[in-house]
Amino acid sequence: MKSATRITREAEQIVNNASEQGAQIVERAKTDAERLLEEARAEAAKLVDENEIKHKATIQARDIVASAEESARATKAGADEYSKEVLADLESFVSRVMSTIQRGREKLDYKPEQ
């Protein structure tokens, strides 16, 4: 009988130890699962933030390029207009010089009748 009682106690002790170890393993597994889940959430949030940053940067880059292109068009239009004005002034000046030259040549070719 003693031996059966002892075996029963040992069996109960083994079951209790196994239960405690099982509970500890389950608790560690829950803790690890919660930690992994939190890490996954943090990584997902980081990726979303990075994606949002990239999206905003892309939009900002497009805006900068569009602004630069518009500025370049305006500058070119202004330069073209200025060039037209300078060429018109030069044409007018050359025309006056040509008239002066023509009058000078006519005076040189003029021979009064005597």
Q: Could you tell me how many residues make up the chain?
A: 114
Question: Can you give the C-alpha Rg of the chain in angstroms?
Answer: 49
- pLDDT (mean) for 7-13: 78
Which is it for the CA torsion 24, 25, 27, 32, positive or negative? Answer: positive
Tens of pLDDT, residue by residue over 36-61, are 999 998 888 888 888 899 999 999 99
* Nearest-5° Cα angle at 105, 100 to 109: 150
State if pTM tops 0.75: no
Quickly list DSSP for 35-57.
Answer: HHHHHHHHHHHHHHHHHHHHHHH
Tens of pLDDT, residue by residue over 60-97, are 999 999 999 999 999 999 999 999 999 999 999 999 99
Domain residue limits, the chain: 1-78
Token look-up 């805006």 returns 63
Token look-up 């997902």 returns 44
**C-alpha neighbours within 13 Å on the C-beta side of residue 56:** 6
Cα distances from 95 to residues 3, 82, 84, 91, 108, in angstroms, run: 134, 20, 16, 6, 20
